[in-house]
């Protein structure tokens, strides 16, 4: 049976449970173990697909087309294990399954209750789809003490009782503040948080203490004493300068060693930290900066374009430059300001998006990038906007638009009627907004003599999608005649996947989201190439 590691958080949110779980995942995988990382989210949405990025940050899309929590992105980037639909669950999904079953009469007249029905369903999720994994790391969203996370905590308590305490390890991540006024590190919030956890019946085996500075031995002893945790298992995590240092820092703090010790396993080999040291060095030492503008609706929230920010940083790592993201809010971008706002940027990126607000600003910025020959990358909605810009200004179709935004436009972009998934035809006309898009991995064929083929160095690619609209393929000849090439297309020749401008040093639009597949240790070729072009852009 796999060993289960449950990660909970206490005191405050945003302590980096995701990053800690991901780093531990890397350290174990690097020693040759098979690892899965999963996330349980206590909110009532069935999945984050319909949640605003303002509220919850980006929606991360998996190969198998699940719209999941952005923490799964961290896990993938650090461990290079592709997450699956079965790796993320929410309270909403659990209740929705239970209520469906109840309506079908599946509970045979019984009263349906949180214990045992909800907790049983959570326990099913924890074990589902696990075959020969050595370790399953399960992160529980939220903070201990929240009403919402109680059923999850109860379920993991039961799980360890059902499966044997020696098969379940509890890690609790807390915050250890430093009080400037008294020049002291305070352990009380950690003590209280562990007390809360113990009142639910969970005794943590390892406490990870997030702190701004190193925690002196005396305070660590205190945490050990009050929390009933072996001193060797009181592990500190001091703020790192770049997230790529996290696996190194957790290794130095012996997190993986203590985890293996708990399960009475001998380490097979030392984890390979060389690649992390190398990129940490590059990130901290590179002096040269390249300014990249991201023009979108959600730029004010740091996590709204998490994978994209990361992928750009990875592109910077492969070109040994720092990326300075110039975040521009699209709805505030007026034509008159374009020149001044984009004056110092060497690359323009329009990310994925939904809805009309801010689209005219994006279209204007694309026009500027096209005319000034500034490297441009349009992702999904960004590509669709680039098609509209070209249709209006070059093909002179004044009413060119997207039927997502305007019913009376000339639809250069229209609803995808149907698509082919593994030989099956899927209709895109479902009126539900949740879970009805073309989601997950789909292939594209790349055209000969295209920039994109040169970048990927391959005839076909497979990338993750999340869209409901597509470029109108019937306009292909019209566009191509004027120098906009359809350089990638679905294998059945029906759905345009990539466009590029011939008469431009670097102008590419993609219908998919390459950012989800970029890794710090393996930067995505599209981002490396985009940053390379931006690096050599001389501005005039």
Residues with active-site annotation: 380, 513, 515
- Residue (25 or 296) nearer to ligand GLN, CB: 296
- Residue (468 or 478) nearer to ligand GLN, CB: 468
Burial 348-362 (b: 16+ CB within 10 A, else e): bbbbbbbeeebbbbb
- Residue (404 or 497) nearer to ligand GLN, CB: 404
Query: Is the alpha carbon torsion for 223, 228, 230, 235 positive or negative?
Result: negative
For 48, what's the count of Cα atoms within 13 Å in the CB-facing half-sphere?
Answer: 26
Contacting positions for ligand GLN (CB under 6 A): 352-354, 380-381, 404, 466-469
**H/E run at residue 190:** helix 188-199
- Residue (230 or 360) nearer to ligand GLN, CB: 360
Could you say which DSSP state residue 58 is in?
P
3-class secondary structure, 489: strand
Within the chain, what is the greatest distance between any pair of CA atoms? 75
Q: Spell out the SS3 assignment of 94-124.
A: HHHHHHHHHHCCCCCCCCCCHHHHHHHHHHH
Q: Which two tokens stand for residue 225?
A: 């004493």
Provide the strand spans (E) within 176-280. Answer: 178-179, 184-185, 206-211, 234-238
The minimum distance between CB 264 and ligand GLN, in angstroms, equals 47
Give the Cα separation of 482 and 479 in Å (integer).
5
Give the Cα separation of 38 and 35 in Å (integer).
10
> Which residues are 499's β-sheet partners?
486, 509
The minimum distance between CB 184 and ligand GLN, in angstroms, equals 48
Residue nearest to ligand GLN (CB): 352
Q: Which of 23, 535, 13, 534 is nearest to 303 (CA)?
A: 13
The minimum distance between CB 464 and ligand GLN, in angstroms, equals 10
The minimum distance between CB 517 and ligand GLN, in angstroms, equals 15
- Residue (356 or 502) nearer to ligand GLN, CB: 356
- Residue (305 or 469) nearer to ligand GLN, CB: 469
The minimum distance between CB 122 and ligand GLN, in angstroms, equals 30
The minimum distance between CB 67 and ligand GLN, in angstroms, equals 11
The pair phi, psi for residue 183, each rounded to 5°, is 55, 45
């Amino acid at each position: 049976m796999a060993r289960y590691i449950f990660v909970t958080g206490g005191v405050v949110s945003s302590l980096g449970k995701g990053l800690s779980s991901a780093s531990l995942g890397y350290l174990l995988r690097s020693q040759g173990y098979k690892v899965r990382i999963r996330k349980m989210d206590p909110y009532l949405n069935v999945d984050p697909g319909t949640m605003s990025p303002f509220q919850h940050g980006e929606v991360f899309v998996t190969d198998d087309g699940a719209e999941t929590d952005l923490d799964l992105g961290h896990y993938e980037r650090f461990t290079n294990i592709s997450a699956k639909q079965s790796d993320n669950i929410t309270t909403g999904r659990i209740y929705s399954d239970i209520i469906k079953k109840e309506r079908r009469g599946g509970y045979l007249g019984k009263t349906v209750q949180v214990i045992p029905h909800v907790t049983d369903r959570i326990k099913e999720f924890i074990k589902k789809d696990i075959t020969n994994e050595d370790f399953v790391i399960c992160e529980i969203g939220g903070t201990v003490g929240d009403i919402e996370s109680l059923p999850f905590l109860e379920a993991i308590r039961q799980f360890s009782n059902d499966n044997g305490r020696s098969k379940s390890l509890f890690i609790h991540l807390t915050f250890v503040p430093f009080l400037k006024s008294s020049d002291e590190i305070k352990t009380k919030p950690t003590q209280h948080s562990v007390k809360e956890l113990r009142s639910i019946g969970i005794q943590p085996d390892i406490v990870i203490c997030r702190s701004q500075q190193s925690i002196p031995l005396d305070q660590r002893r205190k945490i050990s004493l009050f929390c009933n945790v072996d001193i060797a298992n009181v592990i500190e995590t001091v703020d790192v300068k770049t997230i790529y240092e996290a696996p190194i820092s957790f290794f130095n703090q012996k997190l993986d060693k203590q985890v293996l010790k708990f399960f009475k396993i001998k380490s097979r080999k030392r984890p390979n930290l060389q690649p992390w040291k190398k990129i940490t060095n590059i990130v901290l030492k590179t002096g040269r900066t390249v300014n990249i503008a991201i023009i979108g609706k959600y730029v004010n929230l740091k996590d709204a374009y998490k994978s994209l920010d990361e992928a750009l940083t990875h592109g910077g790592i492969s070109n040994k430059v720092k990326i300075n993201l110039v975040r521009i809010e699209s709805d505030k971008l007026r034509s008159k300001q374009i020149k001044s706002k984009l004056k110092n940027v060497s690359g323009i990126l329009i990310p994925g998006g939904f809805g009309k607000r801010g689209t005219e600003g994006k279209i204007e910025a694309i026009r500027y990038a096209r005319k000034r020959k500034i490297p441009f990358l349009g992702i999904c909605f960004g590509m669709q906007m680039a098609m509209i810009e070209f249709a209006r200004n070059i093909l002179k179709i004044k009413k060119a638009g997207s039927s997502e935004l305007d019913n009376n436009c000339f639809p250069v972009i229209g609803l995808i009627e149907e698509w082919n998934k593994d030989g099956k035809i899927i209709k895109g006309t479902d009126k539900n907004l949740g879970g009805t898009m073309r989601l997950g991995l789909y292939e594209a064929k790349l055209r000969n003599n295209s920039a994109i083929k040169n970048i990927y160095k391959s005839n076909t690619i497979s990338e993750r999608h999340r869209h409901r609209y597509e470029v109108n393929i019937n306009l292909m000849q019209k566009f191509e005649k004027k120098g906009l090439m359809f350089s990638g297309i679905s294998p059945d020749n029906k759905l345009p996947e990539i466009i590029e401008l011939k008469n431009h040093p670097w102008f590419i639009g993609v219908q998919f989201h390459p950012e989800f597949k970029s890794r710090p240790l393996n930067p995505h070729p599209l981002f490396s190439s985009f940053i390379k072009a931006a690096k050599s852009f001389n501005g005039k």
